Structure 1
Amino acid sequence: MLYPLVRAGQFSLFDWPGFGPSTFVGFGNYIDLLSDDRFLASISHALILILFYSILPLVIGLVLAAVLRRGSVRGLGFFRVMIFMPQVIALVVVAVAWRQIYSPNGTLNDLLGAIGLGGLARGWLGDPILALPAVGVIGFWLETGLVMLLLLAGMGRISNQLFEAARLDGAGPVREFFAITLPSVRGEITTALVLTIIAALKTFDLVYLTTSGGPGTSTTVPSYEVYNRAFNLKEVGSASAVAIVLTIMVFLINIAVSRIGEERRTPR
């Protein structure tokens, strides 16, 4: 399991086009990344995608899961299957479908025109300002169902006696949520954050199939930079350095999230 990571670390110490002779540069590839505007932009884009892949799905998922937990919803099993459906659809299919939705003659612009907002229509994935949020919305659509199901599973284990006691004490829905529901699903919240943050940081398929990092560098992300440098620019050493940095980022962020989650669950 560790062999590919070790080899990537080895490659990152060389200036190598992927074939033929290589030149040892030590940490030169890593030092170059510190002043590489394209790489630094890809890091900032990945952090922005965490908002769409992780934070927003967690907020919306918490609210919807709490409503479903409290209310009586017919066909809840079918509803759970439907909201989880994006997780089982191949990302290639997802990317192609959303690319069509965002195209200048696509569904989104047709819908805006139908409701009298045709002036807002544009090529969403071709707009340097809106392209990254547009990709983020796809990630939000993908991850919300997963987060909601994790939270529903956690809420399903909460004893009804706790809610009954809270209602006898005069607690309303909001107080129930913050006093009982939220503390009881901290483990599921931590799991959801870990999974969605990993998905945000290592996203490649959606970017490659929808924007290819463009327009310009407005949607490039670290995973795409690894591919672009290794296979398009023939800079395998630099690509390996990006891969190692990305691995360290994923590891450190998720260790921090897990540690915070464990501390909050530990009674004082």
Structure 2
Amino acid sequence: MAGATVEDHRKKERVTLPQEIRSGETTTRRAGRAGQAPARRRRQGPPGEPRNLAYLYILPAVVVFALFIGMPLVRTATFSLYEWNGLGASTWVGLDNFQQVFTDPQLRGALTHALVLIIFYSAIPVTLGLLIAATMMRARRMRGLAVFRVLIFLPQVIPMVVVGIAWRQIYQPDGPLNDLLRAVGLDGFARPWLGDYTWALPSVGLVGTWVGTGLCFVLFLAGMAKIPRELYEAARLDGSGPLREFFAITLPAVRGEFAVALTLTIIAALKTFDLVYVMTSGGPGRETTVPSFEVYQRAFQFGQVGSAAALALVLTATIFVVTVLVNRIGAGDDDTTPNPRRRLSRRAAARQEAR
């Protein structure tokens, strides 16, 4: 009897132990599910909130984009495949309008002028803005710097039409510029700047330089203000001069601002219209004709809507490609982006090993 009782007790242990283990596993799984439940609820949002509420938030922006950018772009692409004067019947021509963009000497000349303006709108302003900002960061205690910042940025807040009218008066044969040249004995340099076949395009480009330098200056100044001052102090203790500090610390640190400045100024050069329209109307001859002005003339003056649409699409694609390339140049992670701290630490370590 006692042996049977012991045997029954052992059987109960064999049966109950797995059940306890299984119940423990079930409890653990339930606890795990309970622990995961709040996270799942956080991903799904509060109870009663629509699941696709985020799409409703961005819906107005999508509608505005589709109505005012998407649909006009599709219509422009459709017009580029036809020969149409804007009023009568249209004729299907396929890709002939795009072929004309690259074979017509007038259109190629307009694209060439836009590339020349990139020098005045982008290369020179970016260089000047970078140098002026670096100089001001080294002389931050000088008086009058706040006034200088306002004055150099002021052209950005003036409408471009007003800027064009003002500079057109400055460039007049009897305008202030020629009067100044004659006053200092440089009569031979006085000329009708906007009527000269050689100087008309550079004259327009210099106005773009005057406008864009302030924007680049502000961008670079904001970027340089974020650089820790101890980097410059460490560089000076290491024996670095102003040029070494500029190329080892300042320039790598403003890589992002450099990309933004290049993107904005190159786009401004490629799509410029108002300055050319106000100052020269594409003249003298066709010496200042640019793609945007060519699109305007062909669409609204010459009745060549298909050709104008094709040129507009080529210009849009060019701006898009330039923007992507510049952003790729300016982008970079922690391993590829030049790091001033890393450069200084490596140089200091190398000198320490040499000692």
> What TM-score bracket applies, with the shorter chain setting the length?
over 0.9
TM-score normalised per structure 2: 0.74
- 2:263 alignment partner, SS class: helix
- 1:219 alignment partner, SS class: coil
Larger RCO (alpha carbons 8 Å, 6+ apart): 1
- The answer to whether structure 1 residue 41 and structure 2 residue 115 are counterparts is no
- The answer to whether structure 1 residue 13 and structure 2 residue 84 are counterparts is no
Q: Once the 2 structures are TM-superposed, how far is the Cα of residue 54 of structure 1 from its aligned partner?
A: 0.5
Describe how 1:165-176 pairs up with structure 2 within 5 A. Answer: 165-176=234-245
5+ long unaligned stretches in structure 1: none
- Alignment equivalent of 1:193, drawn from 251, 259, 262: 262
- Alignment equivalent of 1:74, drawn from 121, 139, 143: 143
Give 2:321's aligned residue: 252
Q: Once the 2 structures are TM-superposed, how far is the Cα of residue 3 of structure 1 from its aligned partner?
A: 1.2
- 2:303 alignment partner, SS class: coil
- The answer to whether structure 1 residue 128 and structure 2 residue 175 are counterparts is no
TM-score normalised per structure 1: 0.97
Larger radius of gyration: 2
The separation in 1 between residues aligned to 2:142 and 2:256, in whole angstroms, is: 25
- Alignment equivalent of 1:148, drawn from 217, 220, 231: 217
Give 1:96's aligned residue: 165
Change (3 A) 1:221 1:266: farther
Q: Once the 2 structures are TM-superposed, how far is the Cα of residue 78 of structure 1 from its aligned partner?
A: 2.6
Q: Once the 2 structures are TM-superposed, how far is the Cα of residue 76 of structure 1 from its aligned partner?
A: 2.8
Q: Percent identity?
A: 58
The separation in 1 between residues aligned to 2:144 and 2:197, in whole angstroms, is: 42
The separation in 2 between residues aligned to 1:15 and 1:73, in whole angstroms, is: 62
Give 2:11's aligned residue: none
Q: Once the 2 structures are TM-superposed, how far is the Cα of residue 266 of structure 1 from its aligned partner?
A: 4.9
Give 1:267's aligned residue: 335
Q: How many residue pairs are counted as aligned between the two chains?
A: 267
Taking only aligned residues, the RMSD between alpha carbons, in angstroms, comes to: 1.0
Q: Deviations over 1:165-205 (max 9, x none)?
A: 00111111111100100000000000000000000000000
5+ long unaligned stretches in structure 2: 1-68, 337-355
The separation in 1 between residues aligned to 2:178 and 2:151, in whole angstroms, is: 25
What letter corresponds to residue 125 of structure 2 in structure 1?
A: P
The separation in 1 between residues aligned to 2:258 and 2:169, in whole angstroms, is: 33
- 1:165 alignment partner, SS class: helix
Q: Once the 2 structures are TM-superposed, how far is the Cα of residue 81 of structure 1 from its aligned partner?
A: 1.6
